[in-house]
Amino acid sequence: MRFHLSKMSYASRRRLRRIAPNQPLKHRPYPHELCTDAGSVFAKQRLSKGVHHLMSIRLCLCVLTVTATVVLGCSRDAQPVSPSLTPSGVARSDTASTGATGSLAALVADVEHTVSLFDACDPETFNAALGAGTCIRPGGMRFENFLEELGRHHSVGAWHFAPGVVSMRVGQKLVAVNNGGETHTFTEVDEFGGGIVPALNNLGGFGPTAPECAQLAPGDFLAPGATSSETEEEGGVEKYQCCIHPWMRAEVRIAEKEK
């Protein structure tokens, strides 16, 4: 019982701190003290020994209820933190807690690093120029503006991989997700190069088609919503690009496993 009261007091302090963070902690009553005070006032009004006895039972029940709540609450707080996705979509191994069970190595191996493939195609103008179904997202950049920006900047910012640099470890999974409205590829290349659409290559000045882009299989094309993944087997730096929009690029830095 002494252990439970001690644990309840600690958790109650935490709960009160959340409610009123600027108040000094030592002046705030604990929940079991509130129960005791209320019980004392009530008992004095009755002035009966029997009622005192009844109140003692009530107080015990009150303390037990609060203790059970605190213990359950502490149990939930003690859950290990699962690897989570950052806003950029990358699961970071350093956000993983070792928790009470399971080894750090197992948690690191389970981490996925996601690269999102984005675009901003306008379905009306893209489908009119390139064929029905080319773009299936709502709104976006008109096709003529897309070509103009590509010619001027040799890239179109809304068409990109995010993040552009991924840091991960051997044994972890690299996942590509097409969150755009057009088909893209996430193709590993030895060196960044041109894609498979001559008009875009010429407009952007990307040079000859990368050899890996010239050997694409049907499964290498990721439709909107599609994903691909692979587990990295060895350390080093890998380059990935879209073979349709060659300025969409990512560098993946893979560290060796920790011994």
Site residues (vs Cu ion, CB under 5 A): 184, 242, 244-245, 248
Nearer to Cu ion, 29 or 157 (CB): 157
Nearer to Cu ion, 54 or 162 (CB): 162
Enter the tokens of residue 208. Answer: 């000859």
Minimum CB–partner distance for residue 184 and Cu ion (Å)? 3
Least CB distance to Cu ion at residue 74 (A):
49
CB of residue 178 vs Cu ion: minimum separation in angstroms?
9
Smallest distance, Å, CB 213 to Cu ion?
Answer: 11
Min dist CB 159 to Cu ion, Å, is 6
- Shorter beta-carbon distance to Cu ion: residue 74 or 196: 196
* Residue 11 or 210 having the CB closest to Cu ion: 210
Cβ 246 to Cu ion, closest distance in Å? 8
Q: Would you say 169 or 184 has its CB closer to Cu ion?
A: 184
Those residues with Cβ within 8 angstroms of residue 96's Cβ, 6 or more apart along the chain or in another chain = 81, 82, 83, 104, 107, 108, 111
- 213-236 in b/e burial notation, b at 16+ Cβ within 10 A? beeeeeeebbebeeebeeebeeee
Give 11 or 248: the residue with its C-beta nearer to Cu ion. 248
Q: How far is the CB of 248 from Cu ion (least distance, A)?
A: 5
Q: What is the DSSP string of the chain?
A: -HHHHHHHHHHHHHHHHHH-TTS-GGGSPPHHHHHHHHHHHHHHHHT-HHHHHHHHHHHHHHHHHHHHHHHHHHHHHTSPPPP-B-TTSBBPGGG----SSS-HHHHHHH-EEEEEEE--B-HHHHHHHH-TTS--SSS-B-HHHHHHHHHHHSS-TTSEEESSEEEEETT-EEEEEE-SSS-EE-EEESS--B-S-HHHHHHHT--SBPTTGGG--GGGEE-TT-EEEEE--S-EEEEEE-SSSTT-EEEEEEEPPP-
Closer residue to Cu ion in complex, CB, 28/137: 137
